[in-house]
Structure 1
Amino acid sequence: MITNARLRTRWVHTNIEAPYPFSVTGFNQLSTGRGVAFSAELVHPNLGVVGCIANGGYGGSTTFSPYDHTRFGKRNLEEFLRRCRQDGQPMDTGPVGMETLLNEIVNETETAGIVADMRATSQFVVRSRRPRETASSGPRRGAPLVYRGILLRRTDREDLAAELARDPAERLPAGAYWQMFDGLEWTPLLGEPPLAPEQINARLRRADQLTAGAPDRDTRLNAVPFDDQFHLSGTPAARFTLTGDATSRLCTDSWCQCARRKATVRFERWNGTTLEESGVVHAARRCRRLVRID
């Protein structure tokens, strides 16, 4: 039931802004000659299981069958839909919009599970994205593709993009692009660089200053104040790492799985004049694992 009009939540994987989250349990699916049949129980955050979502897999609509109309029925779900927005726009409140909502509840839950596995096994996940304005039938988000190892470097992600472009099975329609899950959000696989040119120049000037003040160009520094944001560890004239605190330890080959994070720390890894890796880690010394990548 909707009890407070001001309470809102955002579903990260489908970009729906809604009064509260839904999930599904007991998901089952079966390939048919015309598609995929599936069923799952709809879980309300306060009421628990309230009904069944199903699709016969023969080109028909996805439907919701409530278990108790007086507890939570179709009217309640219609009221919920009227207060939902996706990608910043109100959702269609007709039959098409209701089917979209039901499918997206399933997609949100399934993708959340894939991302949980990604964190647990140090994986990297991408999917295709087709914005609303380029698809007459509405926005489209492709099924997630999972890769072993975290592609922290932009050069590695460029290689993946080239690999996907060569694969006929992954050819994108007009207006679509690839997204990665950066640890917190879905962002373009090859988005804008994390630093503007003036920021890069400022970093390199400061590295030159530290190099000039060192006994020689091979001198290794440890957590030396770099500017008002970073400490530097490494060799300023060659490879060095910038961290937002005085702890140089980083575990960037795995994702943070801590239930709570009191603080996070930004980092950058440089090779000469090239920023190779950057992102955010959990600040706790016992962790120092990835929270988000740029």
Structure 2
Amino acid sequence: MLRTLRFPTLSALALISCSLIASGAANAAELSEEELEARAEKAQTVLNDTAFYDRWNAKGAIDSPATAEKVKDAADKELSRVERAMKDVQAACTEKFLVNKCIDDARRLSFSREREIRRVIVAADEVIRAERVRKMEENRAKNAAAKREPPMKITPKEVKTDRPEPIRIAPKKPSEPSFPMKLDGADGRKASEPVDLKPKEVKAPSEPAGIQPKEVKEASLPALIPGSKVEVPSDATRKDLEDANEAWYAEKQAQAAQRQREAEERAEKRRKDREAKQQQFEKSLEERSEAQKRYEDRQKEKSSGLAKYF
């Protein structure tokens, strides 16, 4: 009976051990035990180091956009440093008896350092965004205070209002009839009397047709261009135009403010989404850690129950 229990138990333990050390076995095989220990100690120091977070998480530490850019570059390097340290610790854990516990402890520290570094990156991004918003507001105020060029002066076309005089056509004066020449015939015969021609009756000249002059309309006012001033007739006051310009400008300012509020709301929503994902990740990590702990406790109970057979 002892022989029957011993062989399956040893086989199960061997399979579990092989699956746990598979990830770091390649690196561990290339280094000696002393080198692994030395690298693991340095890596453990990196995973426990919170100097970067303590320095830049303080209030007012990131005081300018230039500093924020430098902090983001340093944060990227710090993330790479933590990642290398995690790999070194994982390689050293393959040489220990409790491989899973060693790797989980290192991974928990690695996640903590990465979370702190990302918080610093978010703070640096907020400083850069605030500076960008400040410049936008400054340019908007500068443009609003800039002196505007006077509008183009438009003079209405002059329209003649005098009625033209009608054209008077004088009647044509008929010419007097000519009398025939007295010619004696070549053969001595007396010339015939001229035909009695009566002058053509001349009618009285007709009156000119009554042509009505075209009605002249008043000149229309030029269209009002938004944001400009146009000379208007005397019945429109200067105050009315100024009120219209101020209302137009206030509407544009309100639209710009609305766009700014919408952009800030979108940024706030993205920030809340990131925080929710981070909390969900941390919760998942804690659940995995608790599951691993329960698994180890069950393994210890099984080992203590089978110890009397060895």
TM-score for both structures, normalised by structure 2? 0.18
**Bigger Cα Rg:** 2
Question: Hey, which of these two has a bigger chunk of strand by percent?
Answer: 1
TM-score for both structures, normalised by structure 1? 0.19
Question: Hey, which of these two has a bigger chunk of helix by percent?
Answer: 2
More relative contact order, 1 or 2 (CA 8 Å, 6+ apart): 2
